[in-house]
Structure 1
Amino acid sequence: MNRPDMIRFSTLALLGASVLSASTLPAYAQTPVTQPPAVAPTLPPAMVQPLPPAPLPAPIPPLSATQEAWANDWLRSGAEQGLTARRKATATLTGDALVSALLDRAKALSTGRVDAADFLEIWALRPEPYDPRPGLAEAVAEDRLAQWANALTPPYAGYEGLRKGLATYEAIRDKGGWPVLTATSAPMVVRARIALEDRSVTPTENLTDVLQRAQRRYGLNPTGLLDTRTLAALNVSVDDRIAAIMANMERWRWMPRRLPVNRVQVNIAAAVLTVFEGDQPVTSMRAVTGSPQNATPMLSSNIHSIVVNPPWNVPMSIARRELFPKGRATLAKQGYKIVKTPEGGERIVQPAGPNSALGRLKFDFANPFAVYLHDTPARGKFSSYDRLASHGCVRLEKPVSLAELMVASDPDLNGQIQTLIDSGKTQRVSLPQEVAVYLLYWTAFASSNGTMSFRADPYGWDKLLAEKIEASSSRADPTAAPAPTPTIASKD
């Protein structure tokens, strides 16, 4: 990357991610009690100060008949925001029941339909706390319900693109979906099938070009051939695509309402890292993310330092499963060292060097999963379209370029990353400013012209999340008409 392309990051504050730091108990909570606790003296009644009363919830003024009619119509539009699949609200609500439904819908749109207590541990993004009651009370009093409702959804083009895409795919579903293709399907049938999702397809366009564009939308090698993987992607049912869109809309609702304008963002499912400056993508690179057996967690944090020429302290889970079975002699030949632990056990360390699994650079950020961004000596995987192969960390195609961007504002470090690497010395470099990093799982997203792109769901999280959304919606509105739970096709 050319020097003029270097980015000078401004100070970035981590938003809404306090849950991501590994929590530690205070010293007194970790110390066993060896003496009975002293009995606290009893204070005279006059000295006992009562606790202040808890603040009362904001009162909601009574809704007018016009407001009630609008509110019921709005509640019936939940499917448009990906809060339900085919389940539609049927009851007409009034009074307290209507207010409760409005509050529930507002919270679902702002922070997600699925309660954070029902998240997988590895879904380490947590939505910011939100109390919809004050806003609803003000909106009713000022007769601004529509404006209040419009401000509830995530303020991102990514979310709005998914909302429009959802409407498109629901329309396709309502017209009967699409046919199942085979390797012998006629070209006109293949073209018509792809045109359902890609409105730019023309009757005279070369089928190879049509297929290549479709393959790029699915993250496949754009060969222009109707191969096995392309057929599998085209034959994913429209209901499964709708479920994937719903899952990704839900993940947008977990995001903070204001992202740091300068940040590093990794799409785990697509295995791509993107650098944002001024809230605009300025550069990207291929990555290698966790395999289906070693999922990369969703999280947000701040990159605080870079380790140059890092050794690899092999996690015990990997050591037991993959390295110790090879035998000590083999490990020694491969350059590993077995060292004693303070507890009397053993662990494996791979010294720094050109063959280290971490390569020459490691980007550190606090998280409870011990994952990070790092270099790798295994460069071949970056040319593949299937790059989910790590143990959970994120391997980088261009780590030196990324490091140079992060230290560019420090005159002592600017342009010196390769020099530090060449010294062979292991050292930690603190960044001039911490850089926000987001590891996200986007399997559905819209392009600028509204055409949807999809990636495989390697961890099965789309299917699980779609089921949780539907179950949560059912609990929130038991009067709604039942509907079958959407499913996601198994991976090819």
Structure 2
Amino acid sequence: MNPIKQIGLAALTFGLLAGVAHAQETMAAVLQNVQQSEWGDNFVGQAGGSSAVMTREPILSPGTVPAMQQAIARYQDIVSRGGWPNVPADHPLKLGMREPAIAALRERLMAEGDLNAASGDPQAFDSYVQAAVRRFQVRYGIFADGSVGKETLAAMNIPADFRLNQLQVNIQRIGAMGSPEGRYVLVDIPAAQIEVVENGQLVQRHTATVGRIDRQTPLLSSRLTEINFNPYWHVPPSLIVKDLIPRMQKDPNYLKESEIHIYTQSGQEVDSSQVNWNSDEATHYLFRQDPGEHNSLGHVKINFSNPYSVYLHDTPEKGFFGSNYRFESSGCMRVQNVRELVTWILRDNGYDSGRVDEEIRSGNRLDVKVANAPALFTVYISAWASSDGVVHFRDDIYKMDQSSNAVALNQNPSMIGSPDTE
């Protein structure tokens, strides 16, 4: 049985559940804080001091569509009653403040069920409001610090009918895709997040960096077939023009400092001083970066069959994972705590975390073909709900929610093949 349904199937039909849910239940899971330590990005974590842990329910689970049906009914009710109020703040709001804008903030948080009607000063930012803000931030994929800064305020002031539309678009996508079986890795582009799933249970969750708006990560289905330890990085031809030539024009020492070597098509090394960087001469050469701390792929590259020359990989620039905006790559996917993911992928090759660390520390080049290769899906899901009633939203970063072809996700199961397919 294919682990994912073809998008070409007839559109999903469903009926909204009767009645309106007036409040969400207490959230059973919160996102973790982004951490810089590699082994700290486990799927169980904390956010904003909360002791609750994340749910093991993946986005593509059997309970997602029914939960979204209930959410659609709730948000239709919110819209029919005029939506929610804007929060009229031109500065950050945080614990201890007292001002009129906080009354609107309380109303906004109550509208989606993040805050229960509480006693106390309606203009005071107290601990109840702080906890509700954190809950809101978790659901919207914002760093959960409990204060209302620019990004949180912007998310709060998007109208309710816009959020309802996101749910209506995404329930079609999720329903058409179904619930994959077996072992798989799912990259959700709008969330810039990776789920590692086995037998319907979430076993890992990773923060990711994905393609920028003008260099989008493609939507595809494949299998993770090979791990490259301490890889070389071969600069793609497109990046020679877009990035490398302009960089060399500004900083002639860039290639040397980055340990990138230039070669002719026949393999002869060329010194950078011999290249005319004010022309397109560089496009006739090959550029290869040595393994090591400077390597753009970090210490690990994860390959899968695809026509776009993209892959998952480590990165030396781990600061990207601490940002709410993680759409910075040229299409490939950078993975926080990639070693934990690699350990899971290579489990049936006899690898554990110690062996993975040993291969990385050695600095030696090593390519490992994956036994029992798990499936990979890169998808575009900007809104979903879990069976505990929690509704999640992300920015429509590539504007696919606005497209009439938004359901056509290129999820072609024929690309997946069997676990032994290269």
TM-score by structure 1 length? 0.61
Task: Give the alignment of 1:416-435 within 5 angstroms.
Answer: 416-435=355-374
Partner residue of 1:190 out of 98, 105, 110: 105
Alignment CA distance shift 1:206-1:415 (3 Å): closer
Task: Give the alignment of 1:96-245 within 5 angstroms.
Answer: 107-109=10-12, 156-183=62-89, 185-198=100-113, 201-204=116-119, 206-245=128-167
For 1:321, the aligned partner's letter is K
Displacement of 1:110: 6.8
- SS in structure 1 at match of 2:367: strand
Contact 2:189/2:381 (8 A) holds in 1: yes
Query: Structure 1 CA distance, aligned partners of 2:179 and 2:332?
Result: 26
- SS in structure 1 at match of 2:84: coil
Q: Specify the alignment match of 1:267 in structure 2.
A: 188
Q: Specify the alignment match of 1:71 in structure 2.
A: none
Query: Structure 2 CA distance, aligned partners of 1:446 and 1:155?
Result: 10
- SS in structure 2 at match of 1:381: helix
Alignment CA distance shift 1:419-1:227 (3 Å): closer
- SS in structure 2 at match of 1:192: helix
Query: Structure 1 CA distance, aligned partners of 2:66 and 2:264?
Result: 54
For 1:211, the aligned partner's letter is V
Query: Structure 2 CA distance, aligned partners of 1:155 and 1:355?
Result: 39
Partner residue of 2:201 out of 275, 280, 283: 280
Q: Specify the alignment match of 2:285 in structure 1.
A: 346
Task: Give the alignment of 1:18-417 within 5 angstroms.
Answer: 107-109=10-12, 156-183=62-89, 185-198=100-113, 201-204=116-119, 206-255=128-177, 257-327=178-248, 329-341=253-265, 345-411=284-350, 415-417=354-356
- SS in structure 2 at match of 1:169: helix
Query: Structure 2 CA distance, aligned partners of 1:376 and 1:388?
Result: 14
Query: Structure 1 CA distance, aligned partners of 2:62 and 2:307?
Result: 28
Query: Structure 2 CA distance, aligned partners of 1:427 and 1:359?
Result: 14
Displacement of 1:382: 1.7
RMSD: 2.9
For 1:159, the aligned partner's letter is V
- The one-character-per-residue Cα deviations of 1:143-176 (angstroms, maximum 9, x if unpaired) are xxxxxxxxxxx98322222222111111111112
For 2:260, the aligned partner's letter is Y
Contact 2:190/2:394 (8 A) holds in 1: yes
Contact 1:260/1:436 (8 A) holds in 2: no
For 2:192, the aligned partner's letter is A
Alignment CA distance shift 1:412-1:225 (3 Å): closer
Query: Structure 2 CA distance, aligned partners of 1:394 and 1:177?
Result: 36
For 2:102, the aligned partner's letter is P
Contact 1:13/1:436 (8 A) holds in 2: no
- The one-character-per-residue Cα deviations of 1:17-51 (angstroms, maximum 9, x if unpaired) are 8x9xxxxxxxxxxxxxxxxxxxxxxxxxxxxxxxx
Displacement of 1:403: 1.2
Q: Specify the alignment match of 1:488 in structure 2.
A: none
Q: Specify the alignment match of 2:17 in structure 1.
A: none
Displacement of 1:385: 2.3
Q: Give unmatched runs, 5+ long, in structure 1.
A: 1-11, 20-103, 112-153, 470-492
Query: Structure 2 CA distance, aligned partners of 1:468 and 1:435?
Result: 26
Q: Give unmatched runs, 5+ long, in structure 2.
A: 15-59, 90-98, 120-126, 268-282, 408-422
Query: Structure 2 CA distance, aligned partners of 1:215 and 1:411?
Result: 39
- SS in structure 2 at match of 1:165: helix
Query: Structure 1 CA distance, aligned partners of 2:224 and 2:2?
Result: 11
TM-score by structure 2 length? 0.71
Displacement of 1:412: 7.0
Larger radius of gyration, structure 1 or 2?
1
- SS in structure 2 at match of 1:432: coil
Alignment CA distance shift 1:334-1:414 (3 Å): closer
- The sequence identity of aligned pairs, in percent, is 30
Query: Structure 2 CA distance, aligned partners of 1:185 and 1:227?
Result: 17
For 1:336, the aligned partner's letter is I
Question: Structure 1 or 2: larger helix share?
Answer: 1
Contact 1:310/1:426 (8 A) holds in 2: yes
